[in-house]
Amino acid sequence: MNGLNYNDKKFASVTNSESGEVSSETVFHYHQNGDLVWAEYKGGEIVFGTLLAKCDDDGILDMRYQHLNKQGELMTGKCISTPEILEDGRIRMHEKWQWTSGDRSKGESVIDEIR
The sign of the dihedral angle between the CA atoms of 81, 57, 11, 50 is: positive
Q: What is the pTM of this model?
A: 0.93
Q: What is the pLDDT of residue 1?
A: 44
pLDDT band for position 18 (cuts 50, 70, 90)? confident
Domains in the chain, ordered, with CATH? Answer: 10-114 (2.40.128.30)
Q: What is the mean pLDDT of residues 73-99?
A: 97
Which among 75, 33, 83, 77 is positioned nearest to 54, based on CA atoms? Answer: 33
Give per-residue pLDDT as tens, 22-72.
888 999 999 999 999 999 999 999 999 999 999 999 999 999 999 999 999
